[in-house]
Amino acid sequence: MELTTVWFALIAVLWTGYFVLEGFDFGVGVLLPFLARGEADRRAAVGTIGPVWDGNEVWLLVAGGATFAAFPEWYATLFSGFYLPLFLILLALIARGVALEYRGKSDGTRGWDRAFFWGSLVPALLWGVAFANIVRGVPLDAGHEYTGTLLTLLNPVALLGGAATLLLFTLHGAVFLALRTVSDLRRRAIRAARVLAPVALVVVTAFLVLIRSGALSWVAVAVAVAGLLGTVAATAAGRDGWAFAASAAGIAAFTATLFTSLWPDVMPALDPANSLTVANAASSPYTLTVMTWVAAVCTPVVLAYQAWTYWVFRRRLTGEPPRAALH
């Protein structure tokens, strides 16, 4: 197998890890003002992601770094053409990170909770808009420069993609809260999951059917739908762990559909002659070889450390005592 194919697959895996892990972080933030009834509830909700949210964001940093190193032409076109949406995502992630770090150190938490909400909702929506445009294709010239405008990116397919990721991540956050909390907060999270799951199923399925391409992507669509159906069934049965696993599988299959539909392009153009592919956007074979050895050594260490973190902080939270929010 060529190294360009290997690195395309690895980047797909990194985005899958990011969406599965950061997805429930986004979902918790979006649901916070709707499910929490007091400071104890808000503290418990934030505490479910407090020890892990910054580690989850590492997947995004590594995905961006891997894209820059393995496919520099893709990176350059993507970050220049999608500059404003990606800048808004960055601002939202900064606001969310500051809110999570400082809400436990301030007397008043309402302002930080609003920042947490908007810092979760904006990326959950815009990641879907961005990836829908990447898979659908954008106007590129012969030099692989983006020639459209911001309004070009806000097309109906992209907006449907944004709605799909927002619903998918919010549902994922609801089942995560049900898994990690107790009492009334858990019951409200279960009710939210039961309401969100059918809506997410319809919107996500419509989006994936619209953008899929090739037999392999049909398999991924089927797995995504099965994952969402499993989330519905497990939530109805009160099986929190199975609901979370099914939701995670649905998000993984959703991401797989995006990348299998994209292959062998990395940035398709409306004029196929101007598309960026794994061949014309890749770094030199030497660079890819060095990256492969580094990834082979470092990846197991990172995965082991993150798995250990989740194991240590696996218990359900009640919101008490006060320092449980982030420490």
pLDDT level of residue 103 (50, 70, 90 thresholds): confident
pLDDT tens digits for 193-204?
Answer: 999 999 999 999
- Give pLDDT, residue 111: 84
Q: Is-contact 4 282, C-beta < 8 A? A: yes
- Give pLDDT, residue 318: 66
Residue 324 above 70 pLDDT? no
- Give pLDDT, residue 14: 93
- Give pLDDT, residue 1: 57
3-state SS class at 263: coil
pLDDT level of residue 238 (50, 70, 90 thresholds): confident
Q: Which residues contact 54 (CB under 8 A, 6 or more apart)?
A: 97
Helix (H) or strand (E) holding 208: helix 183-211
Residue 270: DSSP 8-state: S
3-state SS class at 237: coil
- Residues 266 and 75: their CA atoms lie apart, in Å, by 10
> What predicted TM-score, i.e. pTM, was given to this entire model?
0.90
Q: Is-contact 160 167, C-beta < 8 A? A: no
Mean predicted lDDT score pLDDT of the chain: 89
pLDDT level of residue 12 (50, 70, 90 thresholds): very high
pLDDT tens digits for 139-188?
Answer: 998 888 888 888 889 999 999 999 999 999 999 999 999 998 888 899 99
- Give pLDDT, residue 259: 93
> How many percent of the chain have pLDDT more than 70?
96
Average of per-residue pLDDT across 200-221: 87
Instruction: Parse the chain into domains and list their residue ranges.
Output: 3-325
Average of per-residue pLDDT across 100-115: 82
Residue 217 above 90 pLDDT? no
- Give pLDDT, residue 203: 95
Handedness of CA 83, 23, 63, 222 (dihedral sign): negative
Q: Which CATH class name applies to 3-325?
A: mainly alpha
- Residues 94 and 171: their CA atoms lie apart, in Å, by 23
Tokens found for residue 129? 């808009």
